[in-house]
Amino acid sequence: MPRILTSQTSESELTEHNAKMFGSPKERLDFYRREIQYETSILANRTDAYLAAQSFLVIAFASSMGNLNPEWGKLFTLAVPPFLALLGLLSSLNAWPGIRAAYDIIDHWYFKQSQLLRSEPLMGLAYDESPLFSERESTHKGYRKALLFSVRTPWIFATFWILLGFWGVYIQVA
């Protein structure tokens, strides 16, 4: 496979390119903050849609377990609740990659933001003195705690559906 060899880009060319692209470190910080906000809203929308779907499945599961029809109720409660539990499990496993991808992108932009604040001493000082921002929010630990709910929810519901599916079958058979 042929390779294209290019010359190394000098530091001054990179600085000039960054200046043309962003203009200033403040513009770059604003760009990173907008990207973080955009990706966070995507993550929130995905989490909201996922939780709405899960809540409907939980309601359907509970309703199907309460079927008291004397002719076909027993067979219905033996077949439908495990199917709904399987659907909930598959939904959780399907939601995980999208939620994780949004989390990884947010992680990337926070990393870029923290690198900018470390590489631009004046920007870092202004950033730390500003009451709207703090060092805690630009560290990995700060924002990751805020995103844990969205990241953990699919795994919590996946476990919930596995347990609920087995429980639904067990109470019908036992």
Mean pLDDT of the chain: 83
Mean pLDDT of 112-121: 80
How far is the C-alpha of 43 from the C-alpha of 106, rounded, in Å?
9
pLDDT reading at 131 higher than 50: no
More confidently predicted of 5 and 132: 5
Question: Which range is most confident: 46-60, 72-86, 135-149?
Answer: 46-60
pLDDT score at 13: 63
Question: Which range is most confident: 10-14, 28-32, 58-62?
Answer: 58-62
More confidently predicted of 73 and 63: 63
Encode pLDDT of 68-109 as tens digits.
888 888 888 889 999 999 999 999 999 999 999 999 999 999
pLDDT score at 132: 43
pLDDT reading at 30 higher than 60: yes
How far is the C-alpha of 26 from the C-alpha of 47, rounded, in Å?
31
More confidently predicted of 19 and 47: 47
How far is the C-alpha of 135 from the C-alpha of 114, rounded, in Å?
9
pLDDT reading at 120 higher than 80: no
How many other CB atoms are found less than 10 A from the CB of residue 33? 13
At residue 42's C-alpha, the angle toward residues 30 and 142, to 5°, is 60
Closest CA to 98 of 35, 45, 56: 45
